[in-house]
Amino acid sequence: MKKTTIVLLIVLLGAALFVWSGAYNIAATDKHWAVTNELLEILRERSIEVRAKDIVVPENLEDSTLIASGAGNYEEMCSSCHLAPGVENTEIYEGLYPQPPVFNGSVHDAHDEKDNFWVIKNGIKLTGMPAWGASHTDDDIWALVAFINQLDEMSADEYLEITAGGEGHDDSPADEDEHEDASADEDLHQEIPADEEEHQETTPGSET
Ligand code: HEC
């Protein structure tokens, strides 16, 4: 009994020393060991499953009005991290670790709707995935879940069309704002090549 207490104390002291020493590299560029990844994966999956199991999924997730109403919010709040049909890469996506799942990529092993709802509402610690429930209603979040369900089959053109016509962000007072926003879509879709534009801005003819 005494021996175990001593061993335990040594282990705790070792752990405290490791934390304090700064030896652990917290950089996003320093990838986890495979075994750490496995453990974190199980931890996350179980944590979400247990918390999401009693959520009641609404029956209207196939409803085209609901799907369309999630489109604008997805484009505005999610596509920079999770990409979208026609949005192949963004600087945020590239730099994040863990890298956000791409819902229109066939590699993504789809979560069920309860889990997606829970994650969108509550976020995931230490990953960059925000808790949107702080600023959005459950209805808004179900619309996002419904929209994500459709992404796998969606072409880039369909995506552009639905996000341009969608209801967009709830905070904006008038519908018209949304339609003006549609022009901003282009910027996003050109996120990577847009760099070139930046360089061109220094060429004469813009400001000088
Ligand atoms: C700043 C980047 C960022 C933004 C913005 C963001 N997410 Fe995430 N999201 C992540 C990351 C990173 C993960 C993966 C976390 C992990 O691996 O544990 C994630 C995970 C998820 C998951 C869990 C998927 C799965 O199968 O594991 C869902 C669903 C999700 N996000 C939906 C959304 C929606 C909807 C929005 C917009 C309302 C959004 N996210 C905005 C970074 C982001």
Find the 120 Cα to ligand 1 centroid distance in Å.
7
Find the 44 Cα to ligand 1 centroid distance in Å.
13
The pLDDT assigned to 107 comes to 56
> What distance lies between CA 61 and its chain's CA centroid?
20
Mean pLDDT of 11-30: 97
Please give all residues whose beta carbon lies within 6 A of any atom in ligand 1, as ranges.
44, 77-78, 80-82, 92, 96, 98, 100-101, 111, 116, 119-120, 124, 127-130, 132, 144
User: In sequence order, which residues have a C-beta less than 8 Å from that of residue 31 and are 6 or more positions away?
Assistant: 97
142 has pLDDT over 70: yes
- CB burial of 167-186 (b: ≥16 within 10 Å; e: otherwise) equals bbbeeeeeeeebeebbeebe
Question: Which residue has tokens 């910027």?
Answer: 187
What 3-state class would DSSP assign to 125?
A: coil
Q: Which residue has the higher pLDDT, 154 or 170?
A: 154
166 has pLDDT over 90: no
190 has pLDDT over 90: no
Find the 48 Cα to ligand 1 centroid distance in Å.
13
Q: Rounded to whole angstroms, how far apart are CA atoms 25 and 176?
A: 48
pLDDT class of 29 with cuts at 50, 70, 90: very high
Helix-strand-coil percent breakdown of the chain, rounded to 5?
Answer: 60, 0, 40
The pLDDT assigned to 203 comes to 44
The pLDDT assigned to 106 comes to 63
Closest by CA to 113, choosing from 148, 139, 158, 137, is 148
Mean pLDDT of 148-174: 77
The pLDDT assigned to 31 comes to 96
Q: Which residue has the higher pLDDT, 93 or 182?
A: 93
Kindly report the average pLDDT of the chain as a whole number. 84
Domains observed in the chain: 61-169 (1.10.760.10)
Percent of the chain scoring above 70 in pLDDT = 76
Find the 16 Cα to ligand 1 centroid distance in Å.
32
- What backbone phi and psi angles, to 5 degrees, belong to 87? -105, 95
pLDDT by residue (tens digit) across 47-87? 999 999 999 999 999 999 999 999 999 999 999 999 999 99
> Considering only CA atoms, which residue is closest to atom 9 of ligand 1?
129
Pick the atom of ligand 1 nearest to 148's CA.
Answer: 35
Pick the atom of ligand 1 nearest to 147's CA.
Answer: 35
The pLDDT assigned to 110 comes to 63
The pLDDT assigned to 108 comes to 56
Q: Are 82 and 98 in contact (CB under 8 A)?
A: no
Closest by CA to 96, choosing from 72, 71, 117, 78, is 78
